[in-house]
Structure 1
Amino acid sequence: MYVVYMDVLFCINFIMDTIIFWIVSMLINQPVKVKRMIVGGLLAAVLYCMLIVVPFLQYVPYSIYSFFIPVFPILYIFRPIHIRQLLKYYSLSMLVAALLGGTTFSLWYMLGYDSRAISELNIFMLIGIGVIMGFTFYTSFYYIRRRFILPTFEYQLQFIQKDKKVMLRALLDTGNCLYTPITHQPVIVVEYDMVKGLFTEEEQKFFERFSDHLVELEQLDDDIIKHLIPFNSIGCESGMILGVEIDEMILEKMSTQRHFNKCIIGIAQMPLFNDHSYKALLHPEYIIGEVG
């Protein structure tokens, strides 16, 4: 008889569940903090092991209990705001789990291990195969998204402020819902390092000095129109971003070119993408034609 100890069972579930949630976060293009991902994997592993440790749970039909195991980690990791989002994240998690589990065991058998000889099961090799397959899925999905999906939402932006110009590559962000509080103008989020050349040395020093004290930016000369814009985002429940009015923006997509006057850019002090592929998040209203 082959015995699987509780710590081994917990370790297997923790690693595989974390990989599954990691792949799902990439599929839905929702960055999640590593700490939150790890805690979610631990929660899923604990819930699975409780089925064996807690006596009264053994009387609950396994199909029902296993159905609810992913729900609580998903609620913690992705924070869905309505039931449709929860169902989407749940379905993706189940699909990824099926693909990852199926390919892991298929590769296990292809390596020559007899499925009937369970006593030969090497837990660490099985985990290793799962990690390799998870990494393979992740890199494959990442390549497909970067090569075939993201270019559809890619635009070239040129900002003009007085006699200064900068050009950068932007990604259309359908989740960008930032507007100025009073005038309700859409906001384009831009990395500060890319646009600081549009401002005078005095303005640059002021932006950099008070990046963590945005309210004090009210002291800045009124020659530049500025806004304090509240926002909510993944990993930051609330905050303020500085919005600055730019004289003109030129939006380019292949041979198409559109001009916009008096645009608002939200200055981000941190990189918007880990790989630095895009320097701005374009507001969807500039594409659907609601901004003239």
Structure 2
Amino acid sequence: MYYEVFIDVLFVINFVMDYFLLRLACRLLGHSATWLRSLAGAAIGAAGICLLAVFPMGRILNTILIHVVVNTIMVRFGCNLKKWREIAQGVLVLYGAGFLLGGMLLMLQRATGSRGVRAFFLLGTVSYMLLAAGIRVCSRAKRKRARLLRVWLYANGKCHEGRGLYDTGNQLWDPVSNKPVSIGDSAILETLFSPQVRDGLLKFGEGENPVDAGLLVSLHPHFLPFSSVGCPHGTALAVTLDYLCVEGLEVHKVITRPVIAFPRENSSFSGDYQVILHPNLIDS
């Protein structure tokens, strides 16, 4: 019993699938290798398979050369990895991507009943596109979770616990205190302040004189002009709180006397967060 193998078909099949695997591995590793590099790596991998098919060196040696040498070189160039630790991780990720791609391809083959080289390429491409889309969605969700941090705001002995969004687009700065300004949802005022203080801030925001202005002295209320999408010329009421604590996966900050601005329109807030954090508070 023997198999008739066409070397050109073997090369093309391995070249295409290796390219798909390298692109998936790059996405999973978070590396930005160009598609040209992935093509070069796929060509190296396909050429190595063809050489070992034409000049076999025994089952054990062939297995070692394919799974260690060829895949290592392919990942090194195809994913633009330089350190040995990264390369080893890349090889493992490549096998993981192969497991996912092979499983998806097998599932589609069974579902459609398609066979042959053309069906293999078509279903392989569909499998790659589905996996790439899934990885992209998961990456976006992961980045969004990383930008959401737990926050605690303290004022007058009261605390508001919620979530803050790390937003590099927030460049609001307080010229009075020369501090970065975070933006808060007006609902925070109900948690942190008594009805008398809230009424005083409301009257101050409307340009009226508060009944008991002494309650607002420690907050240093003042107005800050700002511009945002949909509001090119807005004004926010800024107050100074006692503390702002921020906690995340790699972040643990305690900011003394933070400045928080409360715009009249809360269209920038969603149910996921109540504070838009200034990036300087996290990066400094």
Identity %: 20
1:122 Cα offset (Å)? 1.0
> Considering only CA atoms, is the larger Rg found in Structure 1 or Structure 2?
2
Provide the residue aligned with 2:47 in structure 1: 46
Contact 2:167/2:278 (8 A) holds in 1: no
The amino acid across from 1:112 in the alignment is G
Provide the residue aligned with 1:144 in structure 2: 138
Q: What whole-Å deviation, never above 9, does each CA across 1:260-289 have from its counterpart, x for those lacking one?
A: 8xx7xxxxxxxxxxxxxxxxxxxxxx63x6
Contact 1:9/1:49 (8 A) holds in 2: yes
Contact 1:51/1:58 (8 A) holds in 2: no
Listed as ranges, the matches of 1:136-215 within 5 Å are 136-146=130-140, 148-154=141-147, 155-157=166-168, 158-159=170-171
TM-score if structure 2 supplies the norm length?
A: 0.52
> Which contiguous aligned blocks of 4+ residues in structure 1 show a shift greater than 6 angstroms?
none
1:162 Cα offset (Å)? 11
The amino acid across from 2:52 in the alignment is L
1:77 Cα offset (Å)? 2.5
The CA RMSD measured in Å over matched residues stands at 3.4
1:17 Cα offset (Å)? 0.5
Change beyond 3 A, Cα 1:152–1:112 = closer
Change beyond 3 A, Cα 1:153–1:59 = closer
1:24 Cα offset (Å)? 1.2
Provide the residue aligned with 2:11 in structure 1: 10
Provide the residue aligned with 1:187 in structure 2: none
Change beyond 3 A, Cα 1:84–1:107 = same
Determine the C-alpha separation between the residues in 1 that align with 2:110 and 2:61: 30
1:258 Cα offset (Å)? 5.6
Listed as ranges, the matches of 1:1-292 within 5 Å are 3-55=4-56, 57-58=57-58, 61-68=61-68, 69-112=70-113, 121-146=115-140, 148-154=141-147, 155-157=166-168, 158-159=170-171, 254-256=273-275, 287=282, 291=284
TM-score if structure 1 supplies the norm length?
A: 0.51
The amino acid across from 1:159 in the alignment is Q
Change beyond 3 A, Cα 1:59–1:257 = closer
Change beyond 3 A, Cα 1:36–1:111 = same
Unaligned runs of 5+ residues in structure 1 are 114-120, 164-249, 264-285
1:40 Cα offset (Å)? 0.9
Determine the C-alpha separation between the residues in 1 that align with 2:9 and 2:139: 35
Change beyond 3 A, Cα 1:39–1:18 = same
Matched residues, number: 173
Change beyond 3 A, Cα 1:259–1:136 = closer
Change beyond 3 A, Cα 1:161–1:258 = closer
Partner SS for 1:96? helix
Determine the C-alpha separation between the residues in 2 that align with 1:161 and 1:138: 40
Determine the C-alpha separation between the residues in 2 that align with 1:259 and 1:108: 51
The amino acid across from 1:76 in the alignment is F
